[in-house]
Chains A and B, each alone.
Chain A
Amino acid sequence: MRKVYLDHAATTPVHPKVLEAMLPYFSVKFGNPSNLHDVGREAKNAIEEARSKTAALIGAKPDEIFFTSSGAEANNFAMKGLVQANNQKGNHIIVSQIEHFSVLHPVKTLEKSGFKVTYINTDKTGLVDPTDVAKAITKDTILVSIMHANNEIGTIEPIEEISKVTREKGILLHTDAVASAGWIPVDVLTLGVDALSLSGHQFYGPKGAGALYVRKGVRIKPQIEGGVQEDGRRAGTEDVPAIVGLGKAAELAATDILNRKKYVSALRDQLQQGLTDRIDHLVINGHPTKRLPHNLNVSMWYVEGESMLLFLNMQGISVSSGSACTSRALKSSHVLVCIGTDAAVANGTLLLSLGTGNSKEDIDYVVETLPPIVQRLREMSPLYEDMIKKTK
């Protein structure tokens, strides 16, 4: 049976060249970068090289990169660290409603400790309107955080326009680029951001390594204390192999990004066309053009996401579902709720995310396999039965 992995938004495989770069740092070059002897220096040099490569991917300077354990940690670090280091200037934070939970939850924590938060709505395609950000700004605003691209629906936000607003008012702007870095060009100077999060395993690096870019001169309070690592911003002996892997993945992405983008977007378009042609009552979520090249988020009426996921899995196809049933609260995705997706159809959502390892034949196979699954589930669905009876 053909195996097709279409869940690159969950994680990507480690690129063979990344693995090759990492391997010596487990047992041969095993040193602690904080040590002055040669064994330590070897590890220190490796993470500094990785820092330069990671910086180069996003147009930053190496000393503006702070390694973390994940994209989630980078987001937590940014939210809490930037707010706590700048709270003498005010107590107001602005975020969008469709941020990842690793932004929204620390913001909730800050809200509970007394900070004021404005949650900006998006339009039906998931776009934040920069004028809404401008309107939400008060004299107490210290931080705005709007994601570069949404991890579920792939919509790419107008960060360049938002940064014009924040720059003019002297307010810090963070962007969560976990979903976008490595897939579309990301340049901190063009974007005009003060901080940016990324994650290695989202673009063929290993799990366990993320990074936060913090523009030189911007103050941030460490969240893990008790060591001099990462220029005193993040204590803890560095995960050298993972950091080396992130660096290598960043280097590969930087040299190949336009090809990568072109390759996956062609496959995505093929997939979208194929499914749209064969499945009726289907909704494509997100922005039609301002969207990540490897993202396809589709909702299908009268069927439930997890059932589709399980049947696809039996046919060797791995995808994600946005179904309420997998969440304890029986709530569908906060992103789909925000863009106004009908709650009934939101439960019939699949997130198909492509990668460079997918082929045209893989997509043909998915386009062939999914429609009969949808049909079978619809024939089993009382909602479909009701709809057919109503239209008759």
Chain B
Amino acid sequence: MEQYSSKVMEHFAQPHNVGEIPDADGVGTVGNPVCGDVMRLYIKVKDNFITDAKFKTFGCGAAIATSSMVTDMVKGKSIEDALKISNAAVAEALGGLPKVKMHCSVLAEEALKSALNDYYKKKGIPSPVQMPVESGHEHEME
């Protein structure tokens, strides 16, 4: 396998935003333990802005690093801007990912969108969230 970038190793070794938000406004869990990664992302929303984000991830180095990065990226963003975060942007912010690990960045995007979806659902607003088409995972967790 290709080497991880130093940025990936940094976020893997000392991940940011690990944990739970007990009173989260949106929670999304994606992935499958059978495939090797499961991400759970929590967001706190105030006045249409994401004020906090935390995650729990079961997965490889890239899965933990992308979780750390996507939670960093989303904090302080408006819901609309958060929806624009793509897997490619997460991978790029990490200085790139090995080809076989690109699915981890897809999972990070999915986790974020799933959390936003949950936020809309809780608010009772029809969700504008479109889940990424290209997923590395065939099955989603319940």
Contacts and interface: CB of A to CB of B under 8 A. Distances in A.
B103 A326 contact: no
Nearest to B101: A325
A377 to B, nearest CB: 8
Nearest to B34: A343
B38 interface: yes
A325 B36 contact: yes
Contacts of B29: 382
A324 interface: yes
A347 interface: yes
Given A304-B63, A306-B61, A330-B103, A380 B18 contact: yes
B113 interface: no
A302 B58 contact: yes
Interface in A301-329: 302-307, 310-311, 314, 323-328
Contacts, number: 80
Contacts of A325: 35-37, 59-60, 62-63, 101, 104
A383 B29 CA distance: 11
Contacts of B38: 381-383
Contact of B59 (A304, A332, A385): A304
A186 interface: no
Interface residues on A, range: 20 to 34
A323 to B, nearest CB: 6
Interface in B6-44: 9, 12-13, 15, 18, 20, 29, 33-40
Interface residues of B, number: 31
Contacts of A347: 33-34, 36
A382 B60 contact: no
A389 B63 CA distance: 23
Interface in A78-137: none
A344 interface: yes
A379 B35 CA distance: 20
Given A326-B1, A326-B100, A380-B56, A310 B36 contact: no
Contact of B37 (A304, A311, A343): A304
Given A303-B58, A328-B100, A330-B136, A380 B34 contact: no
A330 B36 contact: yes
Interface in A353-392: 379-385
Contacts of A330: 35-36, 103, 136-137
A385 B141 CA distance: 15
Interface of B: 1, 9, 12-13, 15, 18, 20, 29, 33-40, 56-64, 100-101, 103-104, 136-137
Given A304-B60, A326-B100, A381-B56, 5 more contacts: A304-B58, A325-B37, A330-B137, A332-B36, A380-B64
18 contacts: A304-B36, A304-B63, A306-B60, A310-B61, A311-B13, A324-B34, A325-B60, A326-B1, A326-B100, A327-B100, A330-B36, A330-B103, A330-B136, A380-B15, A380-B57, A381-B58, A382-B39, A382-B57
